[in-house]
Structure 1
Amino acid sequence: MQATDKHGAQMRGAPRIKVFQPAVLRCGAGAPKRVHLLNVSTGGALVYGDSPPNVGTQVQLACGISLGSARVQWSSGRRFGVAFARPIGPAEIEAIVSLQDDLIEVIPPAAIPAR
């Protein structure tokens, strides 16, 4: 059971790190789907995808590294939250951030439109 603050809002057990990381989501034997991680913590992630799985669905997530099994906790529009079956460690979070940094570094400056 998650703790709540004095206003009844759920308090997170671990800090969330904002990312925009491409990932692959699998639901059972279904075809893999491309999604994006929007934030990640040791206990779960905020995910964005075209067709989110139903709440309660067990999924597998990977984004260059396997994040293992997770359960969909909530869904709203194209966003959904997952709780990892086994918490990931700080090293895995650092690897996700590093992968994202690597993607940014390979984009040549000329490919970024001027404003």
Structure 2
Amino acid sequence: MELTPRAKRANVFIDAHVNLGEPLSASQLVRIRDISEGGARIQGKSPGVGARIVVTRGETAMPGRVVWTADRHFGVAFDEPVDVDAVLKTAGPKLAAQPLYAKSLTVGLTHARRRAMTGKTPATSFGLRVAGA
């Protein structure tokens, strides 16, 4: 008996979206943890074994079905072979909210200003200014 070799898998940590394959269905942000031309292991809330889904990364849509679920991971078998290299090169989903970046963190300067103004040294403090604030 000859075994068919398993497709080469790429261990990754990339963001994607999953929806139930209907135009108005809600989409959830997930992480693809490994992928091959035939399927993927996805980290996120499983829609349940047997569910028809579409995994989307950038412009690449990968329809398939959930074949297993365990803990916070589930497996997807794609309907058609996927070009893994193209998926890895595609830009991931854009986040809705922009993160805040610290413009500057001042440590020690606050102590000096408070000491100059009050004559006392504060126990601990630091200042944080946020860009745009």
Q: Give the helix-richer structure, 1 or 2.
A: 1
The aligned amino acid for 1:48 is Q
The gaps in structure 2 that reach 5 residues or longer are: 92-133
Residue of structure 2 in register with 1:40 after alignment: 35
2:19 maps to 1:26? yes
TM-score, structure 2 normalization: 0.59
Structural RMSD (CA): 1.9
Higher RCO (C-alpha under 8 Å, 6+ residues apart)? 1
Q: 1:46–1:80: 8 Å Cα contact kept in structure 2?
A: yes
The percentage of aligned residue pairs carrying the same residue is 32
Give, in angstroms, the shift of residue 48 of structure 1: 0.4
Q: 2:46–2:74: 8 Å Cα contact kept in structure 1?
A: yes
Q: 2:54–2:62: 8 Å Cα contact kept in structure 1?
A: yes
Report which of the two structures shows the higher radius of gyration computed on alpha carbons. 2
TM-score, structure 1 normalization: 0.67
1:59-74 counterparts in 2 under 5 A?
59-74=53-68
User: How many matched pairs?
Assistant: 87
